[in-house]
Structure 1
Amino acid sequence: MNEPEEKISSRKREESFYMANDGQNHIATPASTTKRIGELDLIRGMALLGILIANMQIFSYPYLYTSIIDAGWWQNAWDQTALWFIYLFVEQKFFTIFSFLFGLGFMIFLQRAKHKTDRPIRLYVRRLLFLFVLGLIHTYLIWSGDILLPYALLGFLLIFFYHKSAKTMLTWAVGLLVASCLFMIIQTFLFDNFMAARAPSVLVIENLIQDSVHAYSQGTYMDMLIQRLLDSDFGMEFNIFMMPMILAMFLFGAYAGKKELFRNLNQHRTGIKKMWRWSFIIGTVFLIVQVVLRTQVDAQNSGYNMAHIIGVLISAPALCFFYITSVLLLLQRDIWQRLLRPLKAVGRMALTNYLLQTVVCTLIFYSYGFGMYGKLGPALGVVLAFIIFGIQIIASNLWLKHFKFGPMEWIWRSFTYKGVFAKTLEKED
């Protein structure tokens, strides 16, 4: 049976967005903004707010060290409330959303790239190499809390799953989380002295707190560079335990991409509601486990606060899915579509906005700016995060009225596609 003329015409228009034919070979060009999935941009924008709230602690005071010992910081009721709010509802929940979207973006990118070039993996590798270099610069020259570098490194592992089935991706994702939990249970309850024996003393941590405050609030750039190296090294052990969860979220996202779940949201409405219920139940149960382990086990541990990671490894991914499905269900109502629409622009410029958050916050807290490091508590940090993000919403929407991509997104695409498109920053018709 012949295809309807309208469908054929639509398909040809789609192909024209993604391919340029030089007479012999297809030249790879970036995806048109008209092919973006709006829900993903909106969720990505929401995730950026959560990431900023969580990162504000690292920007504004030596949270890396004060979270390990009772250093007497921020004891008033407002700050304590903010700390618990961030711990329960923000920490690890939004960067897992970002990780999920990274894996989903990986699959969407390669699915589109294979229609544009016979070497889609090569394009993806170029994309990761740019992210890797940017992550190195961001981590060691600007701020130690960077997420781009581990994303780039783990992103290479996704290549091995490209041709695997969706079921295999899902099995590996669940397996990574379960295996990580079992490892943490063994090392916490069967070898409970292992971490404590390796942990620095309270005196060492107190000295690191003082050094951080001095370096970032009044030190020279070289002082800050040295402190960033110490911070990165100190946080490496915690980050290692988070790597399997990040890769698992990548694979969950790749699974969603493989199944094309976000292309047919209406067809998956029942599944979305089921996921919403179960992710809430599982996430809440393991969040309780997380809190109990932190208050009853970590509090008695003279070393790193590690036991509660057992709960984090399940509660964070589950609540990540609860947040995502909540947004998808809200978007079924016109009023929420209108209210949340401005977040799409923030999500379309995710890389630019993520880096801008670092630039703005380091200017506020570091000595080459206003030197507010160690002087602003968690409660005011949350307020500041909302103010900065509100400005980003306005700026992103204004920018995209005139340009197709954010500035960093344009550079990233230029590197990926080797400059084969020329006017990507021109004003849209």
Structure 2
Amino acid sequence: MTETQTEFVPVAQEQRIHALDIVRGFALLGIALMNVEFFNRPLAALDDGLPTGLTGMDAWAGWLIHVFVRAKFFTMFSILFGMGFAVMLARAQAAGREFTGAYLRRTLALALFGLAHGVLIWAGDILLSYAGAALLLLIVLFARGWAMWLAFALMVVVSFAIDPGNGGFTAMILLLDGVVLALLRRGQRIEDAPTVASQSLRGRRLLGAGLALYLIPSLMMVAAGGMMTVAAGAHQDESVAAESGKPAAQQADTQKQAVAKARAERAAHRAEETRVMTRGSYAEAVAFRAKQFTGDYLKALFFLTVALGLFLIGAWLLQSGAMRDPAAHLPLFRRMAFVVLPLGLMATLAGAAIAVRPDPAKQGEWLLSMGLMFTGGMPMSLGYIALVMLALQRDAWRRLLGWLAPMGQMALTNYIGQSVLGTLFFYGYGLGHWALPRAQQVVYVLVVFALQLVFSKLWLLRFRYGPLEWLWRAATYRQWPLLRRSTVR
């Protein structure tokens, strides 16, 4: 075996990018603040917005999280995943080592973690979706054009097969995504190589592809929701003016019946989930989660392209050098923090103002609100990353935020650990604190987060990796990494 074909080995501790670990730790706080609500109410209510009846501190906590946390931290986590991909790729290219096999093993292990997490612990898992998007990322960056088109064509066919009635919207997004990627990849040569092929997208094309893949579905939701809302208002006016027995009145009655049916179905699903999670056994909960977690394939396909876009944005941020040398990229981070973030906040506030509690049964209003929320999510998450990077330029903030680094270094362990604690604390087969008031949920998150900070710091004094990170690396590199430190730091 030649030197350029040596085995791909785990990253050494001194090669880690410290700022990435800090941002990961910060992202875990936002993830916990978002997820805790859905240990206390049905996951089926994920798209319902703020629950009614909140007052005082509960109302403030709910609104602030709705605006400043929701759709901001899963996007940040996705961007960080793209950065991790770029780090792994850069190391492989620099050393001339095999990349694809290690990356595929890493992705498969992530999928297994996600499947176990989603079925055994909490159905709100995001890791399995990340694994699917990670495979798509490999195809988009390294595959020939025909292979990329084949992948998108298969997803289009599957979207129609899953739901012939509603699959058209997802299929249209997938087709537009494919066209955008094909145009951006045009003229970019993908070389054959025994180790790592050249990327099809680099520089601004990489950023442009990421922005397009994220914004296409978000803006389509805004456009579709706006048109449907206007059309519904016009139709309502016609229905009021129409005499009884006219076609317009009959159509209005049909729509009312459809809305009532949709509400009843959602209410029944929420009631069943509430019963299982508050009074059911662990075996019942696992069976319910398995059905729930694997049931919404159409939403999973939709999320794949959104996550892919965020991965590409993260890869661009890393490859641009901004994360490795933030001091040399302060103008970029200032624009992200003080221009991009406010733009995202305006879109988010618009979505909240239109429908603080959107009703999915009112499809137009719901699409418009959710579209604006997602449109603002990515700019705000980029702004949050920039604020952290700017803060790290000051000694006092660098010392304070440094506490987040061990937490971020053990991100997988801490993410799943939050779910383990949540399922044991809130569900009926555990301590049964379901429906904890919203403000108290925030207190719970802060306590758990503080405990995880201390645990991560103490663990990494004695061990090189978190327990799940150690297993993940073992699966990726087909060797057991040295876990225990020879000396305590």
Aligned to 1:75: 54
- Which of residues 444, 458, 462 is equivalent to 1:398? 458
- Which of residues 223, 242, 267 is equivalent to 2:284? 223
Aligned to 2:247: none
- Which of residues 276, 283, 290 is equivalent to 2:344? 283
Residues matched between the structures, number:
405
Partner of 1:27, secondary structure, is coil
Aligned to 2:156: none
Q: Say yes or no: does 1:388 pair with 2:448.
A: yes
Give me the whole-angstrom Cα distance separating, in 1, the residues matched to 2:456 and 2:303: 31
Runs of 4+ in 1 over 6 A off after TM superposition: 21-24, 193-196
- The CA deviation string for residues 231-285 of structure 1, in whole angstroms up to 9 with x for no partner, is 4367655555444332221110011122222122111112211222111231122
CA 1:295–1:48: 2 relative to 1, 3 Å = closer
CA 1:290–1:354: 2 relative to 1, 3 Å = same
Partner of 2:7, secondary structure, is strand
Q: Say yes or no: does 1:211 pair with 2:272.
A: yes
- Which of residues 144, 162, 173 is equivalent to 2:123? 144
- Which of residues 51, 56, 71 is equivalent to 1:92? 71
Q: How much identity, in percent, do the aligned residues show? A: 30
1:118-129 pair list within 5 angstroms? 118-129=97-108
1:18-417 pair list within 5 angstroms? 26-62=6-42, 64-65=44-45, 68=48, 72=52, 75-116=54-95, 118-159=97-138, 160-161=140-141, 163=199, 164-191=201-228, 201-232=262-293, 240-295=301-356, 298=358, 302-303=362-363, 305-374=366-435, 376-417=436-477
Give me the whole-angstrom Cα distance separating, in 2, the residues matched to 1:68 and 1:234: 19
CA 1:50–1:290: 2 relative to 1, 3 Å = same
- Single out whichever of 63-72 and 323-332 deviates more from structure 2: 63-72
Give me the whole-angstrom Cα distance separating, in 1, the residues matched to 2:293 and 2:308: 20
Aligned to 1:424: 483
Aligned to 1:7: none
CA 1:225–1:281: 2 relative to 1, 3 Å = same
Give me the whole-angstrom Cα distance separating, in 1, the residues matched to 2:67 and 2:14: 37
CA contact 1:66–1:209 (8 Å) conserved in 2: no
CA contact 1:99–1:249 (8 Å) conserved in 2: yes
CA 1:280–1:23: 2 relative to 1, 3 Å = closer
How far does residue 66 in structure 1 lie from its aligned partner after superposition? 7.3
Give me the whole-angstrom Cα distance separating, in 2, the residues matched to 1:24 and 1:202: 61
Give me the whole-angstrom Cα distance separating, in 2, the residues matched to 1:45 and 1:199: 43
- Single out whichever of 391-400 and 259-268 deviates more from structure 2: 259-268
CA 1:227–1:398: 2 relative to 1, 3 Å = same
How far does residue 426 in structure 1 lie from its aligned partner after superposition? 3.3
- Single out whichever of 22-31 and 166-175 deviates more from structure 2: 22-31
How far does residue 202 in structure 1 lie from its aligned partner after superposition? 2.3
CA 1:414–1:361: 2 relative to 1, 3 Å = same
Partner of 1:29, secondary structure, is coil
Give me the whole-angstrom Cα distance separating, in 2, the residues matched to 1:300 and 1:125: 37
CA 1:22–1:200: 2 relative to 1, 3 Å = farther
Partner of 1:373, secondary structure, is coil
Give me the whole-angstrom Cα distance separating, in 2, the residues matched to 1:300 and 1:204: 11
One-letter amino acid matched to 2:213: L
CA 1:207–1:25: 2 relative to 1, 3 Å = closer
Give me the whole-angstrom Cα distance separating, in 2, the residues matched to 1:69 and 1:183: 20
User: Which ranges of structure 1 fall in alignment gaps of 5 or more residues?
Assistant: 1-20
Partner of 1:47, secondary structure, is helix
CA contact 2:129–2:300 (8 Å) conserved in 1: no
CA contact 1:276–1:326 (8 Å) conserved in 2: yes
CA contact 1:366–1:372 (8 Å) conserved in 2: yes
- The CA deviation string for residues 299-353 of structure 1, in whole angstroms up to 9 with x for no partner, is 5953583321221232111110111111111111111111111100000000000
- Single out whichever of 364-373 and 314-323 deviates more from structure 2: 364-373
Partner of 2:368, secondary structure, is coil
One-letter amino acid matched to 1:58: F
CA contact 1:143–1:228 (8 Å) conserved in 2: yes
CA contact 1:65–1:208 (8 Å) conserved in 2: no
TM-score (norm. length: structure 1) = 0.86
CA contact 2:83–2:314 (8 Å) conserved in 1: yes
Give me the whole-angstrom Cα distance separating, in 2, the residues matched to 1:144 and 1:199: 27
User: Which ranges of structure 2 fall in alignment gaps of 5 or more residues?
Assistant: 143-198, 233-254
How far does residue 356 in structure 1 lie from its aligned partner after superposition? 0.5
One-letter amino acid matched to 2:137: L
CA contact 1:363–1:369 (8 Å) conserved in 2: yes
Give me the whole-angstrom Cα distance separating, in 2, the residues matched to 1:78 and 1:337: 32
Partner of 1:263, secondary structure, is coil
One-letter amino acid matched to 1:33: Q
Give me the whole-angstrom Cα distance separating, in 2, the residues matched to 1:237 and 1:412: 28
